[in-house]
Amino acid sequence: MKKYILALDQGTTSSRAILFDHRGQICGSAAQEYPQHYPHPGWVEHDPNEIWNSQLTVARKVLHDNGVEGSQILAIGIANQRETTIVWDRKTGEPIAPAIVWQDRRTAEMCDQLRADGKAKLITDATGLELDAYFSATKLKWLLDHVPGARERARHGALAFGTIDSWLAWKLCGVHVTDVSNAARTMLFNIHLMRWDADLLQLFDIPEEILPQVVSSSEEIGNTRAALFGASIPVAGIAGDQQAATFGQACHKPGMVKNTYGTGCFMLMYAGRHPRVSHNRLLSTVGWRVDGRTDYLLEGAVFMGGATVQWLRDGLGIIQQSSDVEALANSVPDSDGVLLVPAFVGLGAPHWDPYARGTIVGLTRGSGKAHIARAAVEAIAYQSAELLLAMQKDAAIPVAEVRADGGAARNDMLMQFQADLLGVPVVRPKVTETTALGAAYLAGLAVGYWESQEEIAAQWECERRFEPAMSADQRGHLLARWARAVERARDWEHGV
């Protein structure tokens, strides 16, 4: 019987499951959206049980719909939204509170206080991260501070903390683990020593008993309960979604760059075997650990990418479904001077401004919904252009191309405008589900389905290449206007 790898891709707005064969081709997929909750301005939450139920549902569905038995799955790989924080009871398996999502800004003032106390350098030196509410540490501290009795229960080993990968591993296999790529996003993990950092645990008052065991990105961490899929299947690959996408894009050599256009946009450059310090407010982060070897990445994060299009759909109601945005944006030749800065939850790299807010500038009486739609799509490209400029300064390595993936990478208008703004080709692969593909590759390597990273890299294929067609003067003019718009959005919440 034919054998497959099953990838579980747990994202911010949906859970999906994808079957891959030995050629790295998609043999079946299933997806299901689930709700986000916004109990207060700046707060974003998930119900951890809704996440688990949606992920289990699509995993079973993809097997059922494609006539695949659990015994045909050689291994499961997990890719997950990163930084989102869950605490649950070890005995009952029930969460003690809603998950705090990576986009959540409730701990911004906590970060301000830590910065005022001079702790930012300690954090960055150990973790490679900016001190920001984006990461898990302040979210976990908030939960332990606000759920009655939580810190005491944590000290006695009664509670477990994890990002989404840990939650899924617990539900699938009953093990409490996280891989190095997810651990590196907690703001509690020392990426130089490759262990939980005692000074940071003390700083955030986090009991070590609550933390998961840190494992490699490609190793068997346990077997699923047979009742879930009709067979006990090894879970053998785990990586944060952006590291998984970088692996799936075969960016295994210095200077190779990928950009994922998902809920947010995440540009990562392969940096080699040692952490690369950023001088332009990018993140130095662990990519993956395979066969005892750790690879590192430089990363820039944009909080509102495809989520900006979802806002057009759900907030403004000017499109019926996300895929409608390209036709609406293309119905006008340009945005007619309209710029939208989608700082709905603050700004990520390279600004790191939690107090910025969404802004539309350049409106005239002639502005319509098509101009706003075009400005929303172009905003995704503008934010990503800022990341590449910072990355090129840090790496001092010429970038030959940017490999694009994620849902919005299917938007040809966006891809062409992105190439124009970057001044380098943007290349879309034949398989755009590279997050799931990377998780599958990591799992498959662990069980011998694929022999090497070289074999994996040879499977990467280009579907379309977008060449830059904009003059340097025009590019500079547009980027300067974007910078002016960003300045008007910055520090808005502190401006009153």
Is residue 493 marked as binding?
no
Q: Report d(CA 487, CA 489) in Å as an integer.
A: 5
The secondary structure element, H or E, covering residue 476 is: helix 472-489
Is residue 103 marked as binding?
no
Decide if 233 contacts 240 (C-beta within 8 A). Answer: no
Is residue 241 marked as binding?
yes
Is residue 4 marked as binding?
no
Is residue 444 marked as binding?
no
Is residue 38 marked as binding?
no
Give me 54's structure tokens.
């949606």
Is residue 306 marked as binding?
yes
Q: Report d(CA 309, CA 373) in Å as an integer.
A: 8
Rounded alpha-carbon distances, angstroms, from residue 356 to 123, 150, 398, 483: 23, 32, 32, 14
Cα–Cα–Cα angle for 157, 213, 165, rounded to 5 degrees: 100
Is residue 219 marked as binding?
no
Is residue 134 marked as binding?
yes
Is residue 407 marked as binding?
yes
| Helix ranges (DSSP H) in 316-368 | 325-330
3-state helix, strand, coil in the chain (%, to 5): 40, 25, 35
User: Among candidates 115, 85, 416, 454, which has minimal Cα distance to 290?
Assistant: 454
Is residue 242 marked as binding?
yes
User: Among candidates 272, 85, 263, which has minimal Cα distance to 186?
Assistant: 85
**HSE (side-chain half, CA atoms, 13 Å) at 424:** 18
Positions at the binding site = 12-14, 16, 82-83, 134, 241-242, 263, 306, 310, 407, 411
Positions at the binding site for ADP = 12, 16, 263, 306, 407, 411
Positions at the binding site for glycerol = 82-83, 134, 241-242
Positions at the binding site for sn-glycerol 3-phosphate = 12, 82-83, 134, 241
Positions at the binding site for ATP = 12-14, 263, 306, 310, 407
